[in-house]
A and B are shown apart, each in its own frame.
Chain A
Amino acid sequence: MGKRTPLYDMHISHDAKMVDFGGWDMPINYGSQVQEHHIVRNDAGMFDVSHMTVVDLTGDKVRDFLRYLLANNVDRLKDEGKALYSCMLTEDGTVIDDLIVYYVNDTFFRMVVNSSTREKDLAWINKHAANFDVNVNVRDDLTMIAVQGPNARDKAHLALGAESASQVKDTAVFFIKFIEGDSMGEVAVARTGYTGEDGYEIMLPKEHASTFWAKLVEQEVTPCGLGARDTLRLEAGMNLYGSDMDESITPLEAALTWTVAWEPVDRDFIGRGVLDKQREEGVSKKLIGLVLEDKGVLRNHQKVFIDGLEAGEITSGSFSPTVGKAIAFARVSSTVGNTCKVEIRGKQLTAAVVKPPFARNGKSCI
C-alpha cells in the first residue's frame, strides 16, 4: 500500500482507478481520461495534487536566499502575491526540480515543489537556507486541490462561499491570495495551474479536504485523474520533471531558457557558470514540439531521426484529445528543421516540428 492523500476515500467513492505514483496511491482516471481532459478544456475539473510538497520559507534574508537558489530571479516579483516559475539547479547547471514560488511578503515566500523529488529538494533547500538564516517549514498539514477550466473559478467561488469568494475573485493570473477568516482555517488560493486553462490551486488544512472536495462536486466540478493532467500539461507546452528534464539536463536543453534570468549579470545563482557558458557557445540538443502527421501515437523514448540519422528521442508523447493527433516533446540535435521521422514499431513516420503550446484555453493551437 502506498501513501494516501487526505482525499483517498473520496477517490474510491468516485470509482477512481488508482495507481502507484512515486509511492503515492493516486487516481489515474475516474472512468475516461479523454472525457476528463475535455471537461477541463471546456468546463471545470479538479485534481488532487496533495502529493506535491508545499514549503514555506521565512526570514529577513529570504529574498537573498531565493536569488541565489533559483535560476529565475525573484526580484521579478514586485507585487505581493505574485508567483514565479523557476528551475532549481545543481552546481553543474542541471535541473534538480522545477517549481513555483509565491511572493507572499518580504519575509515570507511559499514554494511548491514536485512530489517525486521531495527528499532531495528539501535536503538541497535546507543546506543552502542555513547560510541565509531562512526557516524552512514543510506544510504537510495542507492539502492542495487544483480546480481548472473556463468555469473553474466561478464554481470554486460558490464552493468557497460568498465571504471567502469576495476576497479571491479579483486575484490576477499568477497571483496567490491568503483568505482571512475562512471557517476552514488557513486557506490560500493561487490562480495558477498545470493545464493551460484558467483556474485555481487551492491550499487548505487537510482535515477539511474531503468536505471541500464534496462542495466542489456539488458545484459540478468533475474529479479528474493524473492521466488527464498529463495530456493537458503536454498540450499546454509544460514540461514534466523526470521526463522532459532531470539532473542530466540544463534549462537550455529543455526549452526553459525563458525561465533563466540572465540580468543582472552580477546575480550569482547556483549553476550560473555552466549556463553562461552554454548560452555563449550554444547547445547541441534542444527540446522541441512534434505533431505526428501519419497515424499512430507518439510515446516516451521513441527514437527521432533527422536525414536518416538518429538524432534524439521523445521525452513526453501522447495522443492529444484537443488536437486529435499524436503530439510530443522530443530532445533532438539543434540542427533539426521543419520535419523529422519518429520510429514507431520499426516504421519511420513523419512528424512536423512545432512550437508548443499545442492547445490552450479550450482550443487547438496547431
Chain B
Amino acid sequence: MSDIPQDFRYTKTHEWIKQNDDGTLTIGISDHAQGLLGDIVFIEAPEAETTFQEGDDSAVVESVKAASDVYAPVDGEVTEGNEVLSETPEIINTDPYGEGWIYKIKPEDAGAFDTLMSADEYKELVESEDE
C-alpha cells in the first residue's frame, strides 16, 4: 500500500496538494503515481508567472516507460518550479511528498484547497484502482 499523508489534498489524476503558510500551494505526484510510472528520468516543470486553469497540462513527468501529464489542480499562477528536478528527477521516486515537489502555485481562490479530495477519499480511489 502506498503512502498517503493525511494533511495533503489530492486529485483523481494523482497529484497531491499541500497548503503553505504564505497562501501558495505546493503540487507534486503521489507515491502511488510514481510507483506506476517507475524510474523517473525527466521533468518539465512550469516557470514562475505561468498561469493555469484547473485541469490544464501544467508539467510533464517522464519515466523510462512513459510520459505523464501533471494537471493543474486549481486556477492560479505559478510562483516557483522545482529546479532541482532538472538534474535529479529520480527524487520524485525516492521522496514524492518532500524533495520531489514539482511547483508552487498561488491559487486564484484562496479557498480552493478545501474543495479538493481528502486523504481518505484518495485512499479509496487508489484502492479501487488496485483491484
Contacts and interface: CB of A to CB of B under 8 A. Distances in A.
A227 B62 contact: no
Interface stretch (B5-13, B22-30, B37-45, B123-131): B37-45
Interface in A219-273: 227, 231
A29 B37 CA distance: 12
Given A227-B65, A297-B67, A33 B39 contact: yes
Contacts of B62: 296-297, 319
Interface string B32-54: 00000011011010000000000
Contacts of A299: 67
Contacts of A28: 65
A356 B1 CA distance: 42
Interface residues of A, number: 17
A231 B64 contact: yes
A32 B86 CA distance: 20
B116 interface: no
Interface residues of B, number: 11
A318 interface: yes
A279 to B, nearest CB: 37
Contacts of B86: 295
Interface string B72-88: 00000000000000100
Given A33-B64, A295-B86, 19 more contacts: A28-B65, A32-B39, A33-B38, A34-B41, A34-B64, A227-B64, A231-B64, A296-B42, A296-B44, A296-B62, A297-B41, A297-B62, A299-B67, A318-B64, A319-B41, A319-B42, A321-B64, A345-B60, A345-B67
Interface of B: 38-39, 41-42, 44, 60, 62, 64-65, 67, 86
Interface of A: 28-29, 32-35, 227, 231, 295-297, 299, 318-319, 321, 326, 345
